Amino acid sequence: MTVEIRLARPGDEPELTAMVYELAEFEHSADQCTLTEARLTAALFGDVPTAWAHIAEVDGKAAACAIWYRTFSTWEGVAGVYLEDLFVRPDFRRLGLARKLLAALARECIDAEGARLEWAVLDWNVNAIALYDAVGGKQQTEWITYRVSGPELSALASGES
C-alpha cells in the first residue's frame, strides 16, 4: 500500500467536492451543502486563494482530504491554520490518514511560523474526538462558537438587525 499526502492541485476539484458532499452526508447535513467545483476552484486556485487543501491518496486513489485556511492571532501577532474539514472515506479508515493529514497541517503552520492549528468537531463524533485527544488537541471549553448566516446575515449586513 502506497500513501501520499500532498497539497491539492488543479484537477483535484471533482474528488474534493465529492468528499465534501460525503462529509456533509456523514454529518447529516447534506441538504445544507451547496459547494460547486467552480466555487472550490476559485477558493483554492484563484488569484487570491481563500483556502487550501491536502489530499491523501492510497495507491493513487483519493482517500481523504483536509480543507483549511489561514487565521491570525492578534495576541501572538502570527498566522495559524484552521482546519475546516477533515474527511476520510469509509473504505480507507483506520489507516492513519487523518493523523497524517493533521501532521501535514501542523507542518504548514510551523513552516509559516504560525502559532496554532485549530478546528471544531461535532460533539457526537467520538472517533474524531478520540483522535484529536490522541494528537494532543485541547478542547477549548471556555469559548462558545457563534455563526450568522442566511437571512440573518443579510439583515445584519443591511443594518436591519
Position 144 scores a pLDDT of: 85
The neighbouring-strand residues paired with 110 are: none
* pLDDT above 90 (res 71): yes
Query: What per-residue confidence (pLDDT) applies to 26?
Result: 97
Amino acid letter, residue 33: C
Residue spans per domain, the chain: 3-157
Mean pLDDT in residue range 124-128: 92
Architecture in CATH for domain 3-157: 3-Layer(aba) Sandwich (3.40)
Q: 3-class SS at 49?
A: coil
| CA–CA distance, 95 with 124 (Å, rounded to integer) | 22
- Spatial distance between the Cα atoms of 36 and 42, rounded to a whole number of angstroms: 10
The string of pLDDT tens digits covering residues 78-105 is: 999 999 999 999 999 999 999 999 999 9
pLDDT at 160: 82
Grid coordinates representing 100 are 497524517
Residue 145 has a pLDDT of 86
